[in-house]
Amino acid sequence: MCNTCGCNVTHGNAHLLAPGAKLSRTVSGHESVSVLRHLLHENDRTAAHNRAHFDRHGVLAVNLMSSPGAGKTALLEATIDVLGKDRSIAVIEGDLETENDAERIRRRGVHAVQITTGSACHLDAHMVHDALHQLDLDQFDIVFIENVGNLVCPAGFDLGQHHNVVLLSTTEGDDKPAKYPVMFRAADLVLLSKCDLLPVLDDFNPDTARRHLQELASPAPVLELSARSGSGVDAWLDWLAAAGNTLLERRDHPDATGTERQLHIP
Amino acid sequence: MHELSVCQALLDQVEGIAHDRNACEVTEINVRVGPLSGVEPELLQQAFRIACAGTLAEGARLNLSSMPIRVHCRTCGAETEAVPARLVCGECGDWRTRLVSGDDLLLTTVELSVAPAPADRKAAAH
């Protein structure tokens, strides 16, 4: 029992410590307040608001995370080339500086909103909320959020996405899941990108990456692909289609939420 | 370094609580930071020293406590301790575990100095 973490507050004495109650403050005007709330409570509230917004419009929201240069934008370009004919796509781009990535996406004829974070190393739910004001969600089926390239900070911030997709490129090393457990634990899907380079890399074994991911107790599927050669892109699109269908089914049959979720989360 | 953003969110909450209670000063803040929270306690402390300037929490003590990582095995039912990069069951080695603790990032308690209400001040004067 201590006064540090709040474990001294029980059902039996909580009423004495409530605001204005007998023991809520000392004679000298000292007051101890039990809070027990997540530090990013305000971010999580905005994220829930964003998610409700996506849900209401039946828009699938996917948060792409990876280290810088793992191929997030190239993946989006390859995805747009195939999926863009049947699905209406929008992209929210997060970078410290420049509109380069947004311009690459716009050249594919897809609407892109660039968030330049200045010195912030991650996107947060408020930045995405502001970006959503520039998008008419009725017009889109999928919104990709390309997070700031960074395997550390973005993992901590819920944006309101439905799924986190983490890219691990073959040039980075197959032990990245063990080195960045917080990021890879947050992944609903892991994409091993730049797999066309595997024949010339003798130090990246996809099975080793899978084993490290599994040791994080992660059930996330792992897909191998190359945006450049197009190999493996079909499996990624199948995964997206399944995620999109699940979202629409959940919206149309809200009572079945629990079972619907189990369908696509292995 | 996202610890500064986390710290600003923490200070926002703490100042809100202090204002609600008419506190004139925050003396102590207690936060639980798990090894899988993605926040480095040392960096959070450094960020706090910078971010608290000019707030009601300036000069407050930030106490950070940690909880060990514990996992519950869905296969054998054992609850064991684990390390960040290996969250498998310590008993049977199966990877199908559920995290019981270790990813906390929780504001637990705040200690405030509250200016006495006018009535109290009158009573103290007599």
pLDDT in tens, A143-201: 999 999 999 999 999 999 999 999 999 999 999 999 999 999 999 999 999 999 999 99
Nearest CB among B21, B39, B97 relative to A33 is that of B21
Query: Is ipTM beyond 0.85?
Result: yes
**Shortest Cα distance from A169 to chain B (angstroms)?**
19
pLDDT digits (tens, 9 = 90+) for A15-74: 666 666 656 666 678 999 999 999 999 999 999 999 999 999 999 999 999 999 999 999
In chain A, the percentage of residues whose pLDDT exceeds 90 is: 79
pTM: 0.87
Q: Which amino acid is at A244?
A: G
Chain B stretch 36-65, residues whose beta carbon is closer than 8 A to a beta carbon of chain A: 36-39, 63, 65
The CA distance from A68 to A95, in Å, is: 10
The conformational region for residue B38 under phi > 0 = left, psi -120 to 50 = alpha, else beta, is left
Distance from CA of A37 to the nearest CA of B (A): 5
Q: Which two tokens stand for residue B92?
A: 């049977």
State both tokens at B102.
Answer: 């270790």
Consecutive H or E run containing A96? none
B67 and chain A: CB distance < 8 Å anywhere? no
Q: Is A69 on the interface with B (CB under 8 A)?
A: no
